[in-house]
Amino acid sequence: MLALPTLSPVDLAQWMLEAFGTQLRVRCERPLPAGEGCLLVVSSHRSFLDAPLLVRSMGSPVRLVCHHYLGQVPVVNELVRQLGGFHLGPAGQGWSTLFRQASRYLLSGTHVAIFPEGAQLIAAHSRPGQVATFRRGFAHLALRSGIEHLPIVPVAIVSKREASGPLVPLRLLSLFDGSEPMFQKAGWHPYVLYEQVELRVGAPRRIRPEEVARYRGGEAAVVTAALAAELENAARELTLPGGRHPC
């Protein structure tokens, strides 16, 4: 089996971006909270380069919630591990375990990043700046974390120039995760290689005590749906031209 050199997550992320010739610019709506200890980052997701982009850009250690199948593919699983990835189980199993693990990272002061769109765009043809429906797992995580006023930070990864094309048949990936509906479809899993890309960071949105109370009081579905829709809309707005400034 191919042995990969052991690098720090930031060094590995930088090496990957340089290897693919990716030019990155990071832009923020406002400065990220300083001295908070942790952020929950929710990002759009069209390319395997999104993970190293986040690791390279956040300025502090960040752990990445990854799709189950990435932990099953040789070499890729080691890259993901070195970048700081940890995995959800097949077919969305293991959410409780993942919540506990993510909460430990947050409580220790480590940022956690998640791609709420899942495989919707990375496994299908998509447009630069496109944002798909945000699933609610990150909202459950935020509301169960036990961290008061946890800041959730929306991120949009907007390609300015890229190369793309077919990579592997989708059904081939079912060998690594037969529970993923996307991998039961005909067609090809595309690749997207960013040549020039902007990582646009939105204003932090803090979890409010009344939301936690409603979540625990039997309104979990309503509260998480509203939070997912709000952060999805924030990511969409980040894709529009605007007056953001270098972070």
Q: Domains in the chain and their CATH numbers?
A: 9-240 (3.40.1130)
Q: Residue 36: what pLDDT?
A: 64
Split at pLDDT 50, 70, 90, the class of 90 is low
Q: Which of the two residues, 171 and 204, has the higher pLDDT score?
A: 204
The percent of residues above 70 in pLDDT, for the chain, comes to: 83
Q: Residue 71: what pLDDT?
A: 60
Split at pLDDT 50, 70, 90, the class of 1 is very low
Most confident residue range from 81-90, 162-171, 221-230: 221-230
pLDDT at 195 over 90: yes
Q: Which of the two residues, 147 and 124, has the higher pLDDT score?
A: 147
Q: What is the mean pLDDT of the chain?
A: 86
Give the pLDDT mean for 122-150.
Answer: 91
Split at pLDDT 50, 70, 90, the class of 126 is confident
Quick one: the chain helix, strand, coil %, rounded to 5? 40, 25, 40
d(CA 235, CA 90) in angstroms, rounded, equals: 27
d(CA 86, CA 128) in angstroms, rounded, equals: 27
Most confident residue range from 15-19, 74-78, 100-104: 15-19
Q: Residue 236: what pLDDT?
A: 95
Q: Match 């793309």 to its residue by tokens.
A: 164
Helix axes 50-57, 9-19, angle to 10 degrees: 130
Q: Match 């270098």 to its residue by tokens.
A: 246
Decide: pTM greater than 0.75: yes
d(CA 49, CA 89) in angstroms, rounded, equals: 22
pLDDT digits (tens, 9 = 90+) for 32-87: 766 667 899 999 999 999 999 999 998 778 999 987 666 666 667 788 889 998 87
In this structure, what token pair is assigned to residue 66? 């990854």
Q: Is 139 helix (H, G, I), strand (E, B) or coil?
A: helix
In this structure, what token pair is assigned to residue 190? 């595309």
Q: Residue 96: what pLDDT?
A: 80
Split at pLDDT 50, 70, 90, the class of 99 is confident
- Helix (H) / strand (E) element for 212: namely helix 209-214
Q: Residue 92: what pLDDT?
A: 55
Q: Residue count of the chain, please give it.
A: 247
